[in-house]
Chain A
Amino acid sequence: MNIIVLIKQVPEIEKVRFDYEKGRLDRSSAGAVTNPFDLNALEAAVQIRERVGGVVTAISMGPMQAIESLRDALARGADRAILLSDERFAGADTLATAYTLAAAIKRLGKFDLVICGEKTVDGDTAQVGPEVAEFLGIPHAAYVEEILDVEKGWIIVRARMERSYYLMRLRLPALITVTKDINNPRLPSLKDKLRAMRMPIPVWNYTDLSEIADPKYFGLNGSPTRVIKVYTPISEKRKGQMISGSPKEVSQRILQILRENKILA
């Protein structure tokens, strides 16, 4: 089974600061990590390979430093990794990102399954996975919480939609996006990390992908959406009224508020 995992390196979202003048995240203000959901995607891929055999390929698009995330993916069990890096890929929105990733997957040739995290913590759109599936012309299932079975040519998954679980059989090749509930990603051992250090990570650029895709859809030029303005939301302050006194007095006052607002009879 040929499995592809899409990986994104993201800033540490809890620490990163925002550059208001440039209107984007100041990536130098925090370290970079692998998007947490992508670790679940990778773990799911490695577990499938352990059951049925095959090759797990991690692909990431980003600046050269994203190679660290791919190195981490190798340590966590990916068999090989490819970085898509070129200045002309930069500034891509979800459509251009998905188009470029789909081009790389096509260039790899035969594959059975693409696995992505449900979303990234920096963009938070959850759009790239389904867009990649559309560009590849394959079925997809989003928000997969469990992989029940992988057979030749099929995968059976349980996905969570609004109010229901869907049990679905997807014909391979297919794409799934997984939630954090699907598994607990393993930690790489020191030995794994050392092994990953020695593995080559090829970098594909604009020219490599222009052979199989239309470069006008890459990067900023291929991105239909534009951020025109950013600002801090003005959070509505309310006139907080303090309720003081003993717990009994506080409780009675809260009941009174509930009555005044017809919550309690």
Chain B
Amino acid sequence: MGGECGVLVFAEQEDGRIHNVVYELLGKGRDLANKLGKSLCAVLLGHNLDEEAKELIYYGADIVYLFDHPSLKEFDVIKYKHNIVKLVNSVKPDIILVGATRIGRSLAPRVAAALRTGLTADCVDLDLDEEGNLIQIRPAFSGNIMAQIKTRTKPQMATVRYKMMRPLARDPSRKGEIVKVDAEIPEDTGIEILGKVDAGGINISEAEIIVAAGRGLKRPEDLRLLEELASLLGGVVGSSRPLVDAGWISREHQVGFSGNTVKPKVYFAFGISGSPQHLFGMRDSDIIIAVNKDPSAPIIGVSDYYVIGDLYEIIPTLIHDLKKVRSALTHDEE
């Protein structure tokens, strides 16, 4: 598939690591580009990223526009915008897709404003109408409704929520072209990055096991129970919004519309009633196990397994049993 650029994906990287949302965008972008009969392009900005550029091809890109320059190593929104806008004006994609990450949400609006084009935030799905126009599907009203949005200008730009689309399987035999483009670095962007530190904490979107608590938790110190269970299972602690708003746990643990979207192998919901906003963030988990005192809690309806019971009885028993399993295993190894 060559010729015109149908879809351009912004290949976000931090510290030389491509964000996983990019592979999801390439998966959907591949599908859209095929339907348009045009090519799927990616734009990658940074320094020493030859290997990463190849990865983008293995995951579906036909052409990777690589801007390699030491001063693009860190995300400077003005430098990135400047080079992307220049590229867009030359390759004229129909569609530009950006991950709805913090970097993406800071960059995409500037690109859209510079191009005087429309931008739809936080899409969960994308499709084409009969004329090949992009249909952008995004949640609205805290995830209670979905809206379909079209853009009258070109390029049609969208940011896309992480964990919503499926990447293609990595295929190192895929062929594509890496086009190295000379970066133009504006002399003084007015932004100086003085330092960058790892924020630490957890990355709940990547977790395979999430042990989450909601309003059923009585005291902030009881989060220790959740932490212990999570650590025995090799998972992380999640939370619904009320606990975050009450200051019991930090925002990076929040699952839901205004928090993180997660897709773990197992999602434990302890004392979470299951507001639409919370369900929006976890309903695609492989297995959902809910423990709630209230049999009418909405979480029950979306769970694979549920327990009508008290988390204060279930969690300590689970911890006890898991410790026994673990010590038996250690014993075997000896």
Task: Give A contacts to B, CB under 8 Å.
Answer: 13, 16, 18, 23, 25, 93-95, 98-99, 121-131, 133-135, 138-143, 156, 160-171, 174, 181, 217, 223-233, 235-244, 247-248, 250-252, 254-255, 257-258, 261, 263-265
Contact = CB atoms under 8 A, between A and B. Distances in A.
Interface stretch (B37-45, B46-54, B105-113): B105-113
Contacts of A227: 147-149
A95 B303 contact: no
A156 B194 contact: yes
A233 B139 contact: yes
Contact of A142 (B105, B196, B251): B105
Contacts of B304: 238-241
Given A237-B301, A243-B305, A164 B287 contact: no
10 contacts: A25-B141, A138-B190, A140-B106, A167-B197, A171-B190, A225-B152, A227-B147, A238-B302, A251-B317, A261-B266
Contacts of B117: 95, 224
B149 A228 contact: yes
B150 interface: yes
B171 interface: no
Contacts of B107: 130
B221 interface: no
Interface of B: 14, 19, 74-75, 77-78, 81, 101-103, 105-110, 112-114, 116-122, 135, 139-153, 188-199, 203, 209, 233, 251, 258, 265-266, 276, 279, 283, 286-290, 300-309, 313-314, 316-318, 320-322, 325, 329
Contact of B146 (A163, A233, A263): A233
Contacts of B320: 251
A240 B147 contact: no
B152 A226 contact: yes
B112 A163 contact: no
A236 B109 CA distance: 33
A252 B321 contact: yes
Contact of B121 (A126, A230, A250, A265): A126
Contacts of B198: 163-164
Contacts of B203: 163
Contacts of B113: 95, 98-99, 130-131, 134-135
A250 B309 contact: yes
